Amino acid sequence: MEEERERYFLIKHLISNIRCAVCSRRYEPKDVQILGRQDDLWIMGVTCAHCNTQGMIFAVVREGQPPEVITEMTPEELAKIPELSPIDADDVLDVHRLLRDFKGDFYDLLGENGA
């Protein structure tokens, strides 16, 4: 029963990261009403506290294996990600300057295959 209660609050917290389709405000946990559940499927109603738009959210919550990551990266490239330093303000400025001064199209910039 305690596990079910924790899952209930987790679902409400996760939904609070979704935005209203009309006014783009984030939902708060109090805006979410859990209407029902069948196995892994949770059915929720949401009401935007800002514009009063109502909606339905259907979520599948499964325990166990994490979802499969779909990527075009090779296993070797994926293995290098933890070693990379975070993107910082200088990196963003460098890309901004590159794009600001670039005269051409993205095929010229990135190469024929986009990388």
At 109, the pLDDT band (50, 70, 90 cuts) reads confident
Q: Hey, is 20 helix, strand or coil?
A: coil
* pLDDT at residue number 101: 86
At a CB cut-off of 8 Å and minimum separation 6, what does 43 contact? 34, 35, 36, 37, 56, 57, 58
* pLDDT at residue number 93: 95
* pLDDT at residue number 49: 92
* pLDDT at residue number 14: 74
Least confident of 15-19, 38-42, 60-64, 86-90: 60-64
* pLDDT at residue number 66: 64
Question: Other CB atoms closer than 10 Å to residue 51's CB: what's the count?
Answer: 13
**In the chain, what are the domain boundaries?**
2-60, 75-110
Cβ distance 58 to 41 under 8 Å?
Answer: yes
Q: What is the pLDDT of residues 7-46, one digit of tens each?
A: 777 777 777 778 888 999 988 888 888 898 888 888 889 9
Residues recorded for the chain: 115
